[in-house]
Structures are given as C-alpha cells and as structure tokens.
Amino acid sequence: MRKATKSPVVRRLAAAAVALGSCLALAGPAGSAGAAPADPVPTVIFGDSYTANFGIAPFNQDGTRDLCFQAKENYPTVATRRLAAKGITLDVQSDVSCGGALVHHFWQEQELPFNMTVPPQMEALKYDTQLAVGSMGGNTLGFNRILKQCSVKLRNHPLLPGEPVNGDEPAAKCGEFFESGDGKQWLDEQFEQVAGELLLLLELTHDFAPDAKRVLVGYPRLVPEDTAKCLTPAPGQTEPPLADIPQDTLPVLDQIQKRLNDAMQEATADAEGRADFVDLYANTDGNTACDGADRGIGGLLEDSQVELIGTKIPWYAHPNEKGRDIQAEQVADTIEKILNR
C-alpha cells in the first residue's frame, strides 16, 4: 500500500489537481510561512461521521447540510476550545465534515437522502489555510458492510445503512469469510483503494492550501483485547454492545480496524512533505464499545441522542460524548505539538 499502488484514475486525478492548484497559486495572494501558535490559525475541518460526531445532539441544521448530522459540539469544536484555553486560537474557516462521506467526497460532491447534495469538501480550503484536520477512510473501506456481514440483527435493522458484503454467506461464518477466498480478496481491494485515495486527499490538500499542516485523525478502537467484555450489555442497556456478532469473530474485526489504522498512518508518512496522524486506536483501548460505563463508543443498537420522526437512531458504533472528548483531547494535543514545532 505504498504510493506506487495508486490506480491510473487516481494518478490522473492527482495530475489534474496539481495543474489546477498551480493556477490557483498563481492567482492567489502570497502565502505566509506559517502562523506562530499565538496568532489565529486559519483552519479547515473535513471528514465523515466520526468527525461530525453523528449521534450527539443537537446537530447543525442550515437547510443544506441537515442530513450530515454534524454535532454542534463535535470534537473539532471541543478541541478548538481546549486550544483556546492554552492561548492557541484556531480560526475555523469551515467545518465540512459530513456523515456518510467517503474519501472521494473530498473532491466529488456527496449525495445525501432526499436528493440533497453537498459540494466537494476540498472546496472549503483556501490559499491561506494553515491547518486541515479530519477523519476519512472507514466508509470507503466499507466498515458498515463488514459489520453487517457479521450480524443477523444488523442485516435486518431498517435504520442502519448499507448491505453485507455477501448476504448469501451466513453471519456466523464472517470471520472465515474475511480471512479467505472472495471475502479476503474484497477486503484487500478495499484497502488498496483506501490507501490510494487517502494519499490523493493529502496531496490535494497540499495543492490547494500549500502552507497547511495536514492532520489525519484515526478511528477509536471498537473491540477490546478481552472480547469476553463484549458479551455483557452496558449499564442501562439490554443488548450486548456489538449485538449478535459472534465472539470468535471479534478479533477479526479488531484486526481489520487495526489494518485501517495502519493504512491511514502510512498514508501520512507517504504524503509529500509528510502529514501528521492522530492514533486514536492506540489510545482508546480502555474506552471501546465493550467497556461498560467507560465506553467511548455507543453500542451498535444502543439509542443515540439523534431522533428522526419520533424514532431514535442507533449509535451504530460511533463515539458518544465521552469518546468525543477523548477525540478532542488527542487532536488538540497533536495540533499544539505541530504548531509549536
């Protein structure tokens, strides 16, 4: 999954972006060498539902991005306050994070339900943007499809998006499915796509905001090392946090998530000029979906705070407020280190 693995389509997109970025650079004002931590730092937030913090209410509604479910108190907002308390001011030019975003929605418009669309997220970048922060990759990998492959209850739930990878394969055998044959081939192809597209995302950010420090934020850990903890419902809940996914399959899910984490980290290392990575997976082992009162991830079928037409939408393994605060702390700490380098 090195830089050379990019497909011809990805390479053509990158070449076109470089050309367009060069035109914008010629037309734009002269860029600064980078703001000192004491100065306001022009910042753009991008990303998917883990950046938008789907499930936490209230969420922003402006008539065009309602169905992005971007929490008013998402982790970028909380991290910005944490940094302000330390004398570091982020001038957030835009937060375009949106639930359901795939990596390619960084450069392509995203279709939402009811014929709504939102523009490509990279359009939020400005020539003077000095910091770009967000999480992407999980939807392109198809993690929701992977979860549905492993659970009968998720396959039959009317409010949870996506289809299993292969609905003809029994959920109880999904561990075997992803470790051999067609399931493994599908997974390998998905990871190759994620790797190439994340690299393109980071390159496009550099092209359109040459002075921007790029921060790719990983995903918090879902499955603990001790999978026996996943058999007990969290306080106040009746369903186990990972529903009916077989216990012997949980380590397979954990390895898939670890592989995604590694792919994201490798993309930041491979990016021209390098980028920074926030390794949430490594720092959330005690706050997985199976850690009871300490969980930072809402259970798959646990009611979130978001309600539509009188019905609560499940968390579907997204950070709750505790998890959001962990995200904010880790991201704020990383940004502080970057700006003081």
Q: Where in the sequence numbering do the catalytic residues fall?
A: 49, 100, 139, 318
Pairing of strands 116-118, 110-112: antiparallel
Cα distances (angstroms) measured from residue 237 to each of 145, 283, 303, 308, 323: 24, 25, 9, 21, 18
Q: For residue 32, give Cα distances in angstroms to 29, 44, 94.
A: 9, 17, 20
Residues 154, 303: Cα–Cα separation, whole Å: 14
Which of 57, 8, 28, 2 lies closest to 209, judged by CA?
28
For residue 275, how far is the Cα from the chain centroid?
Answer: 16
Question: Is the backbone of residue 115 left (phi > 0), alpha (psi -120 to 50) or beta?
Answer: left
Cβ atoms of residues 137 and 263 within 8 Å: yes
Q: Omega of the bond prior to 240 within 30 degrees of 0, cis?
A: no
